[in-house]
Amino acid sequence: LEFCVEDSTDVKVVIEDQRLVFSCKNADGVEFYNEINLYARVNSKDSREKRSDRSITCFMRKWNEKVAWPRITKENIKPAWLSVDFDNWRDWEGDEEVERAMVEQYAELLEKVRDKAPPPAMDDLDVSTAHELLPPDAATCCSHPRRAELSLWPSARSRLLAAAPAALLGQPVPEPAGEMLLQGCLGLPGRAAGPVRGGLAWLHPGPGLGGRSAPGLSPPWSGEGEARQLCMHGQHLITAVVEQMFGFKTASWELGRQRSVIELDTPSMTAEQIEALERTVNEKIRERVPVMVRELAADDPEIETVRSRGLPDDHVGPVRVVDIEGIDSNMCCGTHVSNLSDLQVIKLLGTEKGKKNKTNLVFLAGNRVLKSIEQSYNTEKALTSLLKNGPGEHIEAVKRLQSSVKLLQKNNLNLLRDIAVLIARDFKSKPVQSELFVLHRKEGDSEFMNIIANEIGTEETLLFLTVGDEKEAGLFLLAGPVEAVENLGPRVAELLGGKGAGKRGRFQGKATKMSRRGEVQALLREFISHRSPEA
């Protein structure tokens, strides 16, 4: 469970067998409190929490790990503040032992990429640069279902150039209608094209894809920019045709670097519907249907027949309409093709589950279809070389490999469990047991360490267990009397260059300097030597 509170303070998390209680304050001092009665029992002794600058994450282990939970809460209700990421909602039943053994591997993989640059967003509609350059009275205009974006207005251009000419040179100029960023620069003054809000008009790109020429902007068209424009017009075509054929309205859309998505207001689409839609839109492309851009007066009755989400209250001047002859008429201030044949082809890749009972339709348009085929062929060729069989047998070969790996992991996990029990029994069988138990096992995992701690017991013995690389990264567990662990846990984590958390006599975490295990042992021996006379 992740409680999303940035810069939290006074964090208190109580994990009980049947309940979780969370409270904290945010950066503004506002207090938050949540109490969750859990669907079923958890192992509170093997649960913990971790705080970051953005959130507090609670890790809980189900008491009965073989039974899947349909929800988090005991009551069959849906609190407004609780959402579930079903992409990460795992059902361990069947392969629980193998899957759990892989969790640490996933965690290590995530840790390796955590400090890297953020991944590109699917919609790629970041216009932070324009936000910084625009005057405070700048407004937006967009009739698309997608969220409105900022652009640069001719009337504001002279003020911007006068205020910060160096900052504008070579800066990306975002296009309206939620289009992707097009590289361009501001040139000589000229007539603006497009709709107007509050006296500020949109700039439109010059040559390319049938767009209107505006002397104020000279974009160096690139293959990527052209591909994005084709996807945008592909969205127009698909949105119009899918509504005509099946009555599915478009709720939103996004144009990504690799693929584009249209969110349709329907819970699902059948394979037959997708096939029919793809066939129809490509028929329109082959028919070379013309695309025209025209302007209507704001009070023109024809405005009511144009597909849009309405005009903003402060709109003045003509309204820009893009017509796909006989198919669609849509308000749009973006750049468009002059003929549907410019789209070349549209490929519908399939659907994904959307938000709030909607469906995401994934598609490619234009040259991206060819690139996708090229990538698929190269992948197929590489797999043929690795798997030593033909493309038609790739799936079965991978399934066999996965089954073999799962079996090996399961056997390895069982052997580790047996070894852990034997190690603990060997220690307990000694006539005189040491107050300190230290062990490192390269191939172990967190469960291996916890089994040893459970078998030996932590009432009188202090245990320092580590697994992973002997010199670099790994996992550690400090278990023993509660007071000792609370005192030593943070110091052990600091020595190992790692982070950890714990409660009730256990402190565990990840380490980056396993080569300093000797220093930790010295610290623990010193602690025991000072404690022994008092005992």
> What DSSP designation does 163 have?
H
Instruction: Name the least confident of 239-248, 296-305, 322-331, 371-380.
Output: 296-305
Cα(508)–Cα(162) distance, integer angstroms: 59
User: In this structure, are 228 and 346 located in the same domain?
Assistant: yes
Residue 29 — very low, low, confident or very high, per pLDDT cuts 50/70/90?
confident
CATH of the domain at 51: 2.60.40.790
Query: Is the pLDDT at 333 greater than 90, yes or no?
Result: no
Q: Say which amino acid occupies 451.
A: I
Q: Which of 187, 101, 121, 110 is nearest to 152 (CA)?
A: 187
Backbone angles phi and psi of 18, in degrees to 5: -125, 5
Tokens of 100: 């759990």
Strand order in the sheet with 19-25: 9-15, 19-25, 31-37
313 in the Ramachandran plot: left (φ > 0), alpha (ψ -120 to 50) or beta?
A: alpha
User: In this structure, are 83 and 128 located in the same domain?
Assistant: no
CATH of the domain at 218: 3.30.980.10
In a domain, 138, yes or no: yes
User: In this structure, are 320 and 273 located in the same domain?
Assistant: yes
3-state secondary structure of 349: strand
Percentage of the chain modeled with pLDDT above 90: 26
Region 6-18 average pLDDT: 88
User: In this structure, are 152 and 256 located in the same domain?
Assistant: yes
Region 492-499 average pLDDT: 89
Cα dist. 283→241, 245, 279 in Å? 11, 14, 6
**Domain boundary pick from 320, 350, 368:** 368
Q: Which of 205, 197, 216 is nearest to 318 (CA)?
A: 197
Cα(139)–Cα(374) distance, integer angstroms: 42
In a domain, 413, yes or no: yes
Q: Which of 284, 107, 109, 295 is nearest to 196 (CA)?
A: 295
- Return the pLDDT at 136: 41
Count of domains in the chain?
Answer: 3
In a domain, 111, yes or no: no
Q: Which residue has better confidence, 84 or 293?
A: 293
In a domain, 115, yes or no: no
Contact present, 284 and 234 (Cβ < 8 Å): no
Instruction: For 304-320, give the DSSP string.
Output: GGSBSS---TTEES-EE
Summarised one tens digit per residue, pLDDT across range 438-494 is 999 988 888 889 899 888 887 888 999 999 988 888 999 999 988 889 889 999 999
User: In this structure, are 236 and 325 located in the same domain?
Assistant: yes
In a domain, 387, yes or no: no
Query: Is the pLDDT at 278 greater than 70, yes or no?
Result: yes
User: In this structure, are 238 and 282 located in the same domain?
Assistant: yes
User: In this structure, are 73 and 142 located in the same domain?
Assistant: no
Contact present, 466 and 487 (Cβ < 8 Å): no
User: In this structure, are 320 and 185 located in the same domain?
Assistant: yes
In a domain, 329, yes or no: yes
Backbone angles phi and psi of 173, in degrees to 5: -110, 105
User: In this structure, are 308 and 426 located in the same domain?
Assistant: no
pTM above 0.95, yes or no: no
Q: Which residue has better confidence, 332 or 523?
A: 523
**Helix 482-495 and helix 517-531, axial crossing angle in degrees, nearest 10:** 150
**Domain boundary pick from 71, 90, 109:** 90
- Beta-bridge mates of residue 255: 260
> What DSSP designation does 180 have?
P
Cα(143)–Cα(294) distance, integer angstroms: 15
- Return the pLDDT at 259: 87
User: In this structure, are 238 and 287 located in the same domain?
Assistant: yes
User: In this structure, are 499 and 445 located in the same domain?
Assistant: yes
Contact present, 245 and 277 (Cβ < 8 Å): yes
In a domain, 459, yes or no: yes
Summarised one tens digit per residue, pLDDT across range 114-173 is 555 554 444 443 333 334 444 443 333 333 333 333 333 333 333 333 333 333 333 333
CATH of the domain at 451: 3.10.310.40
Instruction: Name the least confident of 88-92, 138-142, 191-195, 411-415.
Output: 138-142
**Domain boundary pick from 336, 368, 400:** 368
194 in the Ramachandran plot: left (φ > 0), alpha (ψ -120 to 50) or beta?
A: left
- Return the pLDDT at 150: 32
Torsion of CA 451, 453, 457, 458, to 10 degrees: -160
Instruction: Name the least confident of 1-15, 110-124, 241-255, 478-492.
Output: 110-124
- Return the pLDDT at 117: 52
User: In this structure, are 442 and 484 located in the same domain?
Assistant: yes
Q: Which of 457, 399, 398 is nearest to 428 (CA)?
A: 457
178 in the Ramachandran plot: left (φ > 0), alpha (ψ -120 to 50) or beta?
A: left
Contact present, 498 and 509 (Cβ < 8 Å): yes
Find the DSSP H helices in 259-351. Answer: 271-286
In a domain, 399, yes or no: no
* Enclosing domain of residue 51: 2-90
- Beta-bridge mates of residue 32: 24
